[in-house]
């Protein structure tokens, strides 16, 4: 039986859980509402750098203790940072609930020791170098910078090599004090969870969480300047690339916009990896390695992305194919058959994901953190089922009426 439970602790920490007494495992996560969009130029990359430092020990545990205990609980644990959230999570056997909550909760009050700072700085610089070597060779970061400006949602999650090299422990501590207050955090859980025990334990071990030192507001950025290490050329020279890469962004619904379901179905019809219009035009024919479209929802807006990967000499021809596909949808909409197919595929995929608590955790945590909303599986499926052809036509018009923002990554940056 699936049950949703939630509570807010006196210190402001919110707890939300979808409990399932038939489960074999339990997933827990701290969802902190902070990410790249909350940083200033001087802080660029700090959310993600901090995420790494959270594993480096607390008053009660050394860094080695944290890693060792995570492994002793035998589960899968990790963390990620996005534009709007930083999430720390673990999936364990139900018998380890209290130990994993003790550990994750303790990690949320890290020691941020200066001695670990420089070692971890190297790891981050390695991570930046790793992504520079990978497709699409910076084209995603660049298109976000062009579409949103290099600040706010366009801020690079990893920061730049320059901003990471210049980062100081003091900047990180100020940022932590400003962003990791309990009222900015959701503790979410899914699977075979003892909710009452969870709430009790969390209340006890986070009782002193409000006592963060007051941090100074950061100096506002000079928006007339471009942050160090950032370029705003839509053409990226990727000398090692044998393929050509095109990334596009168009507007899409925000996280609480009811039309987000229609937008997801629209991008499935246009750019899913099988059976979509892009698939039949570009993938089935072997004209492109990849031609995909999908959406991402933020608090106040959304983005529809298009990615095209193909030999550089075919980039411009294939781009025209994509334009024609999008124009046709703007003009004629999609067919009933396409919409049914997209719904069937999406609904099946939701059902398949729901078997694992580790998948459900993110739906529960994101929904509660970003929208204060819990959507059970049946309600979500129903929302997809109700999307009409007219709904899809409307989101298509809103997304594609204006030309998209584009970036290209190609060896020799052909113009």
Partner 1 sequence: MPIEIVHVETLDNGLVILGQPMSWLRTAAFSLALPAGIHCEPVDRGGLAGLMCEMIQRGAGPYSSRDIVELQDNLGLDHSAGVSSSLASYGAMMPAEVLSDALDLYAEITLRPHMPEDQLEDALQVSMQELLSVEDEPTQLVMMRLKQLQYGDLSGRPACGNRAGIESIGHEDVVSFFQNRYRPQGSILAVAGRFEWNQVLDRCQKLFGDWQGAPAHEIPLDRGRGGYEHIDQESSQTHIGFSFDAVPFSNESFYQMRAGVGILSDGMSSRLFDRVREQRGLCYTVSASNHSLRDRGAVFGYAGTTPERAQETLDVTLREICSLADGIEQAELDRLKVRVQSSLIMEQESSSSAVASMLSDWFHRGRVITAQEIEAIIESLTIKDVVDYWTEHPPKDFRVITLGSSPLQVPA
Active site residues: 51
Q: How far is CA 200 from CA 142, 152, 369, in A?
A: 45, 37, 20
CB atoms within 10 A of CB 123: 10
Shortest reach from residue 287's CB to partner 1, in Å: 7
Q: How far is CA 96 from CA 16, 19, 107, 174, 303, in A?
A: 19, 16, 16, 33, 39
Instruction: Give whichever of 220 and 239 is closer to partner 1, judged by the CB atom.
Output: 239
User: DSSP code of 282?
Assistant: I
Beta partners for 87? 31, 80
Rounded to 5°, the CA angle 267-270-274 comes to 100
Is residue 236 within 8 A of residue 409, CB to CB? The reply is yes
Instruction: Give whichever of 15 and 92 is closer to partner 1, judged by the CB atom.
Output: 92
CA distance 388 to 183: 38
Beta partners for 247? 307, 407
CB atoms within 10 A of CB 394: 16
Instruction: Give whichever of 348 and 414 is closer to partner 1, judged by the CB atom.
Output: 348
Q: At how many degrees (to 10) do helices 114-132 and 169-179 cross?
A: 90
CA distance 365 to 356: 15
Shortest reach from residue 118's CB to partner 1, in Å: 8
**CB proximity list for 63: less than 8 A, separation 6 or greater:** 55, 56, 57, 116
In a 3-state reduction of DSSP, which class is residue 309?
Answer: strand
Shortest reach from residue 270's CB to partner 1, in Å: 14
Long-range contacts formed by 397-404: CB under 8 A, 24+ apart: 397/330, 398/251, 398/253, 398/259, 399/250, 399/251, 399/252, 399/263, 399/266, 399/304, 400/250, 400/326, 400/329, 400/330, 401/330, 402/250, 402/251, 404/248, 404/249, 404/250, 404/306
Is residue 268 within 8 A of residue 334, CB to CB? The reply is no
Shortest reach from residue 155's CB to partner 1, in Å: 21
Shortest reach from residue 185's CB to partner 1, in Å: 22
CA distance 112 to 59: 10
CA distance 315 to 90: 42
Shortest reach from residue 234's CB to partner 1, in Å: 20
CA distance 192 to 22: 7
Q: Which residues bind partner 1 (CB under 8 A)?
A: 22-25, 55, 63-64, 67-68, 70-77, 91-93, 118-123, 125-127, 129-130, 132-135, 239-243, 274-275, 279-280, 283-290, 309-311, 340-342, 344-345, 347-349, 351-352, 354-357
Instruction: Give whichever of 213 and 286 is closer to partner 1, judged by the CB atom.
Output: 286
Shortest reach from residue 1's CB to partner 1, in Å: 13
Instruction: Give whichever of 255 and 318 is closer to partner 1, judged by the CB atom.
Output: 318
DSSP of 348-370, one letter per residue? HHHHHHTT-HHHHHHHHHHIIII
Q: Whose CA is closest to 248, among 139, 135, 138?
A: 139
Shortest reach from residue 243's CB to partner 1, in Å: 5
């Amino acid at each position: 039986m699936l049950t949703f439970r939630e509570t807010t602790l006196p210190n402001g920490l919110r707890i939300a859980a979808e409990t399932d007494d038939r489960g074999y495992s339990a997933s827990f996560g701290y969802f902190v509402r902070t990410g790249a969009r909350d940083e200033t130029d001087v802080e660029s990359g700090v959310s993600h750098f901090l995420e790494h430092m959270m594993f480096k020990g607390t008053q009660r545990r050394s860094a080695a203790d944290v890693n060792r205990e995570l492994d002793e609980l035998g589960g899968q644990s990790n963390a990620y940072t996005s534009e709007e959230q930083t999430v720390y999570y673990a999936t364990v056997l139900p018998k380890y609930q209290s130990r994993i909550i003790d550990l994750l909760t303790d990690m949320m009050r890290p020691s941020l020791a200066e001695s670990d700072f420089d070692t971890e700085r190297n790891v981050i610089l390695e991570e930046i170098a790793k992504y520079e070597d990978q497709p699409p060779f910076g084209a995603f970061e660049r298109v976000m910078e062009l579409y949103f400006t290099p600040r706010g949602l366009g801020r690079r999650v990893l920061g730049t090599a320059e901003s990471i090299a210049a980062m100081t422990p003091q900047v990180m501590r100020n940022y932590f004090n400003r962003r990791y207050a309990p009222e900015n955090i959701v503790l979410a859980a899914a699977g075979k969870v003892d909710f009452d025990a969870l709430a009790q334990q969390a209340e006890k071990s986070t009782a002193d969480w409000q006592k963060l030192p007051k941090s100074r507001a950061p100096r506002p950025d000079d928006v007339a300047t471009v942050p160090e290490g950032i370029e705003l050329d839509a053409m990226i020279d990727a000398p090692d690339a044998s393929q050509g890469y095109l990334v596009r962004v168009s507007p899409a619904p925000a996280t609480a916009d009811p039309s987000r379901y229609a937008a997801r179905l629209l991008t499935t019809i246009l750019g899913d990896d099988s059976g979509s219009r892009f698939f039949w035009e570009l993938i089935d024919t072997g004209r492109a390695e990849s031609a995909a479209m999908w959406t991402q929802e933020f608090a106040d807006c959304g983005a529809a992305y298009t990615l095209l990967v193909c030999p550089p000499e075919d980039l411009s021809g294939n781009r025209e194919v994509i334009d024609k596909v999008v124009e046709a949808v703007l003009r004629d909409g999609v067919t009933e058959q396409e919409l049914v197919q997209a719904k069937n595929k999406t609904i099946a995929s939701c059902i398949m994901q729901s078997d694992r608590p580790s998948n459900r955790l993110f739906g529960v945590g994101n929904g509660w953190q970003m929208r204060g909303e819990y959507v059970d599986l049946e309600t979500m499926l129903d929302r997809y089922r109700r999307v009409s052809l007219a709904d899809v036509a409307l989101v298509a018009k809103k997304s594609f009426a204006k030309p998209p923002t584009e970036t290209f990554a190609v060896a020799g940056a052909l113009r």
